[in-house]
Amino acid sequence: MQFNLRLGAAGSIAELEYGPNGGQDLLANPYGNNDTDRVVQWTLWSDSYSAISDGVSEPFNEDLAGSGDGTFSPTVAVRSGRGFVDVYAVPQDQWDRTLDGSMQARYSCLTRYEMLPNGVLKVRRVVLTGRVSNQADGGGVYDVYFEEWNPLKAGDGSFDAYALSLDSAGTPDWWYRANYNIPYYQYLPVENSFGYALAYSESALQTMPVIGVVFGTRELRIVSAPGVSAPLGRHVFNSMGWGSETPDDQGISLLPALEMFDVPSGSVIDYTYLLVLRPNADASLKSELETLAASVPAPVLYGPHEALSADLGSIVEELRGNLNAPGFRTDHLAALERPDR
């Protein structure tokens, strides 16, 4: 049996299925009339700025895939090589696009997918933070909540629980159940976790697919020049569930995230996590997840003028060059793909 993934708008994972001939859909059902929400992507919020929409104050919110009305973020380039796919994009619209005239920023970014052995997908995000438009303070320094949004289907024979720890037999021993006790944005410091979360079906742990989200236990590292007022921040794990009153729309989202304060525009976020795709859980899964958690690098926030490694420096140079690129607002990336040379 196999897992099938399709990359969509701006490098999000638009489809995730298990089994042949279409198989079982593992992502939550679409929300509203868009293909920009129930996809695996990053989301970015800031309570530093807000604007009024239909009489309600809404915080700044831009997502990798696009906006709530179904408008896709522009994809600039897609490159693939042996075992990896790079997608460069420039998200730039508020989730509520009617607010673009009040607050807007471009986030030139790279999503790199690397297929590791044994069904482990390495996901690296490199994001150049943008300046927020039309702000009295210039929009140059603001708080940032940067989240890995992993919306998985619940109910209807799909996932109905997630665990933060397994025992030696591979059985969850720190768990939460859908429509019962799933925490809503608990801001669990990663150093107080085992560095992973596992979505599963309680009644079919050994016979149905499980998905691990491995984020590690390393704190956020902030690199800022001496004498410069440095941002503050932390690496956390959040979660949420929905669907207790909507049987046809149920989900569990596993949400490793960075909570950062006073981030200068032009800073660079470098975040890596792993998706572990398994046909079922077994006694070897605990040790594998813990080994993978120990391998995940610490997330890093670099100030706008920090010296970067050769690899990261070349990525960020391309991100800066892409800032004003028009890109292609599409959910089908195959036509844009070019082999890496």
User: For the CA atoms of 17, 293, 12, 89, what is the dihedral angle to 10 degrees?
Assistant: -160
Q: What distance lies between CA 315 and its chain's CA centroid?
A: 19
In the chain, the N- to C-terminal Cα span, in Å, equals 33
Under CATH, which number does the domain 3-335 receive?
A: 2.70.98
Q: What is the pLDDT along the chain (341 residues), one digit of tens a residue?
A: 589 999 999 999 999 999 877 789 999 999 888 999 999 999 999 999 999 999 999 999 999 999 999 999 999 999 999 999 999 999 999 999 999 999 999 999 999 999 999 999 999 999 999 999 999 999 999 999 999 999 999 987 899 999 999 999 999 999 999 999 999 999 999 999 999 999 999 999 999 999 999 999 999 999 987 767 789 999 999 999 999 889 889 999 999 999 999 999 999 999 999 999 999 999 999 999 999 999 999 999 999 989 999 999 999 999 999 999 999 999 999 989 877 64
> Is there a contact between 91 and 10 (Cβ–Cβ < 8 Å)?
yes
Give me the phi and psi of 321, to 5 degrees please. Answer: -65, -25
What is the residue type of 21? N
Residues 249 and 254: their CA atoms lie apart, in Å, by 17
